[in-house]
Structure 1
Amino acid sequence: MVAILDRQLWFTVVFLILQHSNEVLGSQVTVMYVFGDSLVDDGNNNYLNSIAKSNYYPYGCDYNRGPTGRFSNGKTFVDFLGEMLGVPSPLAYADPNTVGARILGGVNYASAAAGILDETGQHYALYSVGLRKFLLAGIGPLGCIPNQLATGQAPSGRCVDYVNQILGTFNEGLRSLVSILNNGTHPGAIFAYGNTYGIFGDILNNPASYGFNVVDKGCCGIGRNQGQITCLPFAIPCSNRNQYVFWDAFHPTQAANAILAQRAYSAPPNDCYPINVQQMSLINF
């Protein structure tokens, strides 16, 4: 199997569940519940017995509170999407303070190296407790991340194609699943597919259009492509972080996360199918 799958970082579906309010006419969503891996982990790894950690500098070096357990130099996709929706970033479920009524304000269940488990399918049970708006984000082009490029399996300027081919099959299946879920199987609910692969591919193919000039190296890392060893404690990251697509061996920079969130929020159906997050948030059932 592909080496990156053994690491399990990046290889998961992000389930972003948006809860709407019927009490305020025309309101957008009021809270978010998030399931996923290190791409959207907001600090659960701080409380788990795991070697996948990001609670040290330089992680969070561009976040106003410093290291928080986010695998980025700053904000994640979920942070930016929450800002666009006008809701706070959900609380980390593993935080001992996330109890009682605080859970009703939104919870982030994502954790580093989560992988794809049988339990993931249980998220559909959330429909039965009243959640009605779901964003299922596909998998990005893992064959293009610094960790994969560092293996030397791709020609210069290219990604590891066989990795991306595997993911293309998975994403096609996920998009088809969204169509099935919207076909009357869950009355009163809407499911959207986030084309992470396509959006990220566009960034990598047209970096200058988005303000990037480094697409094949991590801003913080060691070895070939700064991707053989990911960002270590107190490593010195690149100074021009907004010009890098990748923060470390596996994860995007804050600048790339902002673009991913904006495209999911307001882009046409080829980026978010069949409707985008903004359109979904305004639906009243």
Structure 2
Amino acid sequence: MGSPGFASLLSFALLLLRGFDVVLSQQQTQVPCFFIFGDSLVDNGNNNRLLSLARANYRPYGIDFPQGSTGRFTNGRTYVDALAQILGFRMYIPPYSRTRGPALLRGVNFASGASGIRDETGDNLGVHMSMNQQLQNYESTVQQMVRYFRGDTDELQRYLSRCIYYSGMGSNDYLNNYFMPDFYSTSSDFNDQTYSDALIKDYTRQLTQLYQYGARKVIVTAVGKIGCIPYQLARYHGNSTSSKCNEKINKAIAIFNSKLKKLVDHFNNGELPGSKFVYLDSYKSSSDLSTKGASYGFEVMDKGCCGVGRNNGQITCLPLQQPCNDRTKYVYWDAFHPTETANILLAKSTFTSRDYTYPITIQQLANL
């Protein structure tokens, strides 16, 4: 007759098998798992149940997504959704808020709308998960994953070292912090140079922490050219004849991005042994979409497909609002976020081309 100990052991063995079935079902993928950290550009539902204005779990968000309004801040797929498909994942990487058990083995999306490198960033919009909180959730996930490797942390490390990690932070540290002086003191506490230094110092610690918990193949994204998004075009009334964008914001972003690229070099040159970091130049790619959009088939590069006011950028999409009819012709879905078409185009171009990645492509990173 079997003992309770044997029954427990059998149950644990079955749990292990179910877990690895998840991995085996994804065996055609170029990497075994994909972990995502970031803000609303890649959030896929983590903010849905939070007391926050940074939520997108209502129509017309998701109007072109098979599952509807999941919490993605666009009409369809995000950049990381498209990238996951290129990597061979048959299912989208699920949000941390509703993922537990064996499903963790193929990766989790920890991104949270309004979040930033600094903890206070985005507080003006309500509850969210900062980069520090996302890292805490990731550490909890790694601890849960150990059971599927029979407690063998070395084997788990070998598994994680083959995965892709994506970290897209910084946009809100400017939009919903530094350039919001009525709510935050950072613009009086710092200047453009010292604020970027403070962000890079915090981000260095955070990315090192990610490395300490298994990350070896890491994509870090530059902050996009956010002085030119519909939100800024709607608000900014500059007197420059050469640009209708807010170049004050773009200048500050460029300083941060330059230091982030140097940080990638620092990590790759031996600071974090065995790792490879790729710098994704979202500033250049977003700039090219806006200035060369017609060559990609876009017709509207300066307005949101959905929104209210000037450039559809003064207020974001309202519940049940009717968006533009042909989303494929717009670079921007709303005041802040690209359309699905733009996201897919960016994912394809950044995967195989060195135009927007440094020092190697994402495809090369996956194959390491």
TM range, normalised to the smaller chain?
A: 0.7 to 0.9
Alignment counterpart, residue 94 of structure 2, candidates 91, 94, 118: 91
Given residue 68 of structure 1, which amino acid in structure 2 is its aligned partner?
A: T
Alignment-derived partner of residue 139 in structure 1: 223
Map 1:39-188; keep pairs closer than 5 Å.
39-87=41-89, 88-95=91-98, 98-117=99-118, 119=132, 121-154=205-238, 158-188=244-274
Q: Deviations over 1:198-247 (max 9, x none)?
A: 01111111111111111111100000111001000000000011111100
Out of 328, 340, 350, the residue aligned to residue 254 of structure 1 is 340
Query: Any idea what the Cα deviations from partners look like across 1:25-47, whole Å, max 9, x if unmatched?
Result: 99721111111000000110113
Residue matched to 1:14: none
Please say if residues 62 and 73 of structure 1, whose CA atoms lie closer than 8 Å, have aligned partners that are also in contact: yes
1:35 aligns with 2:120: no
Partner SS, residue 46 of structure 1: coil
Q: Answer yes or no: is 1:226 the counterpart of 2:312.
A: yes
| Contact 1:211 1:243 survives alignment (8 Å) | yes
Q: Once the 2 structures are TM-superposed, how far is the Cα of residue 102 of structure 1 from its aligned partner?
A: 2.2
Question: Larger RCO: Structure 1 or Structure 2 (Cα < 8 Å, ≥ 6 residues apart)?
Answer: 1
1:92–1:27 Cα change, 3 Å:
closer
1:275 alignment partner AA: I
What is the CA-CA distance between 1:122 and the residue it aligns to?
Answer: 2.9
Amino acid at match of 2:324: C
Given that residues 232 and 246 in structure 2 are in contact (C-alpha distance below 8 angstroms), is that contact kept between their aligned partners in structure 1? yes
Cα 1:186/1:26, change in 2 over 3 Å: farther
How far has the Cα of 1:143 moved from its partner? 0.6
2:291 corresponds to 1:205: yes
Aligned residues: 258
Question: What is the CA–CA distance in structure 1 between the aligned matches of 2:71 and 2:28, rounded to whole Å?
Answer: 35
Name the SS for the 1:60 alignment partner. Answer: coil
Q: 1:48–1:94: 8 Å Cα contact kept in structure 2?
A: no
Answer yes or no: is the 8 Å Cα contact 1:44–1:110 preserved in 2.
yes
Name the amino acid aligned to 2:209: A
SS in 2 for 1:94: helix
Identity of aligned residues (%): 47
Report the CA distance shift for 1:26/1:188 in structure 2 as closer, same or farther (over 3 A). farther
SS of the counterpart of 2:318? Answer: coil
Change (3 A) 1:122 1:152: closer
Gaps of 5+ in 1: 1-20
What corresponds to 2:280 in structure 1? 194
Q: Deviations over 1:112-142 (max 9, x none)?
A: 1012226254343232233210000111010
Q: Secondary structure at the match of 1:191?
A: strand
Q: 1:76 to 1:210 in 2, by over 3 A?
A: same
C-alpha root-mean-square deviation of aligned residues, in Å?
Answer: 2.0
In the other structure, the counterpart of 1:239 is 325
The aligned counterpart of 1:9 is none
Kept in 1, the 8 Å contact 2:28–2:88? The answer is no
Q: Whose radius of gyration is greater, 1 or 2?
A: 2
3-state secondary structure, aligned to 1:230: coil
How high is the TM-score relative to the length of structure 2? Answer: 0.67
Task: Output the TM-score relative to the length of structure 1.
Answer: 0.86
- Tell whether the 8 Å contact from 1:26 to 1:282 is kept in structure 2 after alignment: no
Provide closer, same or farther for how the CA distance between residues 76 and 26 of structure 1 changes in structure 2, counting only shifts above 3 A: closer
Q: Which has the higher helix share?
A: 2
Letter in 2 for 1:43: G
**Which structure shows the bigger proportion of residues in strand conformation?**
1
Separation (CA, whole Å) in 2 of partners of 1:38 and 1:238: 21
